[in-house]
Amino acid sequence: MSTWYEKLAEYFPIEEMKSEEHMKLLLKEKGDIYHKDESPKHVLMYVETEDFVFVDYLFVSREARGEGMGKNLLMKLKRKGKPIILEVEPIDYKDTDTKKRQRFYNREGFKHAKSIGYRRRSLATNKVTELEILYWTPDDEDEHSIYEKMCHTYEMIHTYKDEHLYGESYEEVDEVLTLNHNQSQKS
């Protein structure tokens, strides 16, 4: 029987994975905002602050796909009445999972934050990965506000004790996240 961490590590690309130590530290030291919700069929790691929810990892086992579990987990988060933000890999047509994932979030009413650029170097592989920011809001929040919440998440969660955990630091937030103002007016 796999642990919750092994399930995530098998499913998500290494570039997107925090170390197990990092996640356990967040659960222990940031337990007021960093949460784990799991069953034999799913693992959901998320951040909940006063004004938003950030989905760090959502995994539903292959056997349970199509049972509406992902939808129900998101419904539970939507009922909190706060914007929900998450990162996804851009669609890679060779990898059908990326397409399915994006289609799923689309169906659930998530929008792609077109004005937010997000490029992160993995400390595990040194590879720079470009991710897309998806968001859902109960009251039509603008992308500038989503950008600020994402910066907050990057500084508070993604880079938490990075030097201690990985022996080096992640890039500064303004090197990783960018906001294109021209783009945000159009959406």
Confidence of residue 86 (pLDDT cuts 50, 70, 90): very high
Q: Is the pLDDT of residue 145 over 80?
A: yes
Largest CA distance in the chain: 49
- Which has the higher per-residue pLDDT, 186 or 165? 165
51 secondary structure, DSSP code = S
Angstrom distance (rounded) from CA 130 to CA 38: 28
What total number of domains does the chain contain? 1
52-74: pLDDT as tens digits: 999 999 999 988 888 999 999 99
pLDDT of residue 169: 95
Residue range of the domain that includes 54: 4-186
Q: Is the pLDDT of residue 51 over 50?
A: yes
Residues 45, 8 contacting (CB under 8 angstroms)? yes
CATH number at residue 138: 3.40.630.30
85 secondary structure, DSSP code = E
Phi-psi region of 39 (alpha: psi -120 to 50; beta: other; left: phi over 0): beta
97-118: pLDDT as tens digits: 777 888 899 999 999 999 999 9
Q: Is the pLDDT of residue 130 over 50?
A: yes
Q: Is the pLDDT of residue 93 over 70?
A: no
